[in-house]
Structure 1
Amino acid sequence: MVLIFIENTPRAYAWGSTEALPELLGHAPTGQPQAELWLGDHPGSPASIAKATPVPHTLIELIEQDPERYGVDGGPLPFLLKVLAIGEPLSLQAHPDLVQARAGFAAENAAGVPLGAANRNYRDDNHKPELLVALSEVTALSGFRPIAAAVHDLRALAAAAPQGAATLAAIADRLVEAAPEVARLRFVEWAFGESAEVSEALLGIVDAIGEGSHPGIGTDRLECLRDLLTHYPGDPGVLVSLLLHLVRLAPGESVYLGARQLHAYQSGIAVEVMAASDNVLRAGLTQKHIDIPEMLRVLDFGELPEPRMFAEEVAPGLCAWRPGVPDFQLFRARVASGSEVAHGAGVARDALSLDGSQLADAAEEVTLEVDSPLVLIATAGRVLVSRPDAELAEMANVARGQSLYVSAGEPIRLTGSGEVFLATVGA
């Protein structure tokens, strides 16, 4: 087999949407939040081989049966493809780099912390850079922004706050008294220090953004603060959010976050690909385990100049996101019939990218080299995936919400009318 349908059960985290994933997958809503669909061989939630045998098999078992044929360099997949359905803000979090992950995993193993324990920080020994591409409008807090922007917003909130104004103004002043990285470190330490001043600052923000008030901050930032305070009243992560870029993505736009970057996705539906890891260090905006000292040790407090990442057109109908890590890259293919392409109909058209250039339009046919295994999900329409040059030619008709594992080998050809995302090993 070279084209294999895979499936998985969405993970039911509290921040998930009750309807977005069921709608994409063609399932009836359960009434419970469904947050993440994992499509890979990570032990935390390995995908299953669909319709294979009466006995269920996972992608782990498939690769272990013939690692040279189905794995990467004789081992598991180095990437994990997900679909996120964000109904409420995610936790304020970061992921370790490779050195930190290996050391943290070994230390917790030596300390006897069970892998499934709620207070476990490191569930594996891998880093976790990640790329998120919006399917709907997505809002995300992504990496540290310039200190001057945070100072501006704090002073604007102070000016609009009936109470807590002096506290907000004082912490804004402190941010400019040290080098940016030191100032951010001190701010985060202060925010999670449980002092009376933190509570005063949070009350000041509540007053400044109350109904009918119009502080001199951006509309998106105002909406974000209101949303965070609705879901997490009194959480110091609300203050820390002011240090971060706030990005609003249109469908097809993306952010890339390397290891050690603080972030918190706020809303929307997205495809996400990352190194195959489940290491998450949280610092607020959550009811889950928080380890502030470890978070402070791991974080990169430098400014992230630009969290957005632009797709590059590879061929007609095909674009790619290549962040330059060995673990993964992501492709998006759009195909349509000849008449749809000619008249710009169906799912074929896309908006302009952020830099004003046209993203890859749909083509009648897209061909993609498969030097390493691929994991594919259809997000619109229906796409025929075939491998005409293989010794035993195969084809799979992949409808919206269906997923496919493609082993390394001959190129695949995509036709039909729809959109698919394909994750594979990094370039």
Structure 2
Amino acid sequence: MGAHPADPAWVVSDGDRVSLIEMIGADPGSTLGKRVATDHGEKLPFLLKVLAAEEPLSLQAHPSLQQAKEGFARENRAGIALSAAHRNYKDDNHKPELIVALTPFKALAGFRDPVRTAKLLTELAGSAMKPYCDMLAEQPDSAGLRALFTTWITLPQQPLRTLLDDLTDGCVRHLKGAKNGRFRREAQMLLELAEHYPGDAGVLTASLLNYAELAPGEGLYVSAGSLHAYLHGMGVEVMATSDNVLRGGMTPKHVDVAELLRVLDFSPSDALPVPVHNASPGGTAEYIYDTPAPEFRLSRIELDATGLHRSVSLGLIDPGPQILVCTRGGVTARCGADEIDVPQGGALWVPARDPEVILHAHAARTQVFRALVPAVG
């Protein structure tokens, strides 16, 4: 749901079906508002998605804004078609993103503290993996992570398969061992990835990353250079308007190792849920996910047709565009004299010219996600 040139959303209004790009282009002032049109070049700066990962998705990272601009210009100069399978940069924008779980959600995000990773590898390693455990144990920092990652992702197929067999054997031993093994979740995750992606170096890489399990309502923010993969679950995802993806494994698609290494951030981090705050404690039921992204702000609205929060007013002091998606129940949206029903799974485009939208719940435990462009300062 957005206005990326590669695949824009379509808006149905008065029986007509219009591309969101065309709608914005025809009148950016009233659709985006003066602030957003000025700050973001008369383009909708965010994309909103509902993501359903039945199986593990690819390991990937996104470039910074500067890297995206340079990479896009470089590939244009080289004459690489936008549709080419080996093209890395489809546009000149970065792609910070936030995923909020609708169901229990599993993900990999960012490089784990190398000291802890060295302990995990030592616990799971057999004879083939031991030299690589020692490599990280001797240099437990971002440089050590980079060296180990580079070694693994460039291995020939036969030694790679030997290492993968050694790692999976170690995972089986660990799971059959002490009931309270400290790396049981990681061992189970690696076995599942090895089953989905046999012979793929990305399975080795997964052992270096933070493994996170999100409860419904929890969110995970992914910044530039962070290697990540969504493994299983359903969620609402919002991101800057971009299709720039550098893949790092667990995929049949193109993997450009040199460009990936240029983009990746090997600084250790934690995969922690993003902070959430109530927009107006005691007044509404809107919970905002705090991220540093200037292109988007996502919030979760909880309504109950039988309880306290039956309706909510979505007004903006500094108007801008919004997209709403109903993920549970259903709502009626009212703006002035206009009224529209939005069922579960339905999405609503709200242009900047609509000063206030009132949502009224149809059912108990109604849930709506709201994406907009935050005001700066």
- TM-score normalized with structure 2 length: 0.90
Residue ranges of structure 1 left out of the alignment (5+ in a row): 1-38, 159-164, 342-362
2:358 is the counterpart of 1:413: yes
Which residue identity is paired with 1:334? E
2:146 to 160, 176, 185: 185
Q: Which amino acid aligns with 1:256?
A: Y
Q: Secondary structure at the match of 2:307?
A: helix
The 2-side partners of 1:241 and 1:424 are apart by 33
Measure how far apart 1:113 and its partner are.
0.5
Secondary structure at the aligned position of 2:254 is classed as: coil
* Alpha-carbon distance between aligned partners in 1 of 2:12 and 2:185, rounded to the nearest angstrom: 42
Name 2:289's counterpart in structure 1.
321
**How do 1:282-293 and structure 2 match up within 5 A?**
282-293=247-258
**For 2:240 and 2:176, how far apart are their aligned partners in 1?**
42
Matched, 1:276 2:237: no
Work out whether residues 261 and 300 of structure 1, in 8 Å CA contact, stay in contact via their aligned partners in 2. Answer: yes
Query: Pairwise mapping of residues 135-150 of structure 1 onto structure 2 (< 5 A)?
Result: 135-150=102-117
Is the contact between residue 210 and residue 270 of structure 2 (CA under 8 Å) also seen in structure 1? no
Q: Is the 8 A contact 1:142 1:307 kept in 2?
A: no
3-state secondary structure, aligned to 1:64? helix
Aligned match of 1:375: 323
SS in 2 for 1:376: strand
Judged with a 3 Å threshold, the aligned counterparts in structure 2 of structure 1 residues 396 and 273 are, in CA distance, closer, same or farther, namely: same
Residue identity in the other structure for 2:104 = E
Please tell me the residue identity of whatever aligns with 2:91: D
The residue number in structure 2 matching 1:84 is: 51
Contact map agreement 1:90 1:266 (CA 8 A) in 2? yes
- Superposition deviation, residue 51 in structure 1: 5.1
Measure how far apart 1:415 and its partner are. Answer: 1.6
The share of aligned pairs that are identical, in percent, is: 40
Alignment correspondent of 2:101: 134
For residue 65 of structure 1, the aligned residue among 26, 29, 33 is 26
Q: What is the Cα deviation at residue 206 of structure 1?
A: 2.1
- 1:154 and 1:197 map into 2 onto residues whose CA distance is 17
Match of 1:8? none
Number of the residue aligned with 2:307: 340
1:111 matched to which residue of 2?
A: 78
> What CA distance in whole angstroms lies between the structure 2 residues aligned with 1:62 and 1:223?
48
Is the CA contact (8 Å cut-off) linking 2:103 and 2:216 kept in structure 1?
A: yes
Which residue number in structure 2 is paired with residue 231 of structure 1? 196
For these two proteins, the number of residue pairs brought into alignment is 356
Number of the residue aligned with 1:347:
none
Instruction: Answer whether contact 1:322 1:426 (CA < 8 A) is retained.
Output: no
In structure 2, C-alpha distance between the alignment counterparts of 1:369 and 1:124, rounded to whole Å: 33
Counterpart AA for 1:335: L
Deviation at 1:272, TM superposition (A): 0.2
Return the match for 1:208 from 161, 167, 170: 170
Please give the alpha-carbon distance, in whole angstroms, between the structure 1 residues aligned to 2:173 and 2:148: 28
Query: Hey, what's the Cα distance between the residues in 1 that align with 2:264 and 2:173?
Result: 35
* Match 2:346 to one of 388, 402, 405: 402
Residue 247 of structure 1: SS of its match in structure 2? strand
Q: Which runs of 5+ in 2 are unaligned?
A: none
Give the structure, 1 or 2, with the largest relative contact order (CA under 8 Å, sep 6 or more). 2
Note closer, same or farther for the CA distance 1:322–1:212 as it changes in structure 2 (3 Å cut).
closer
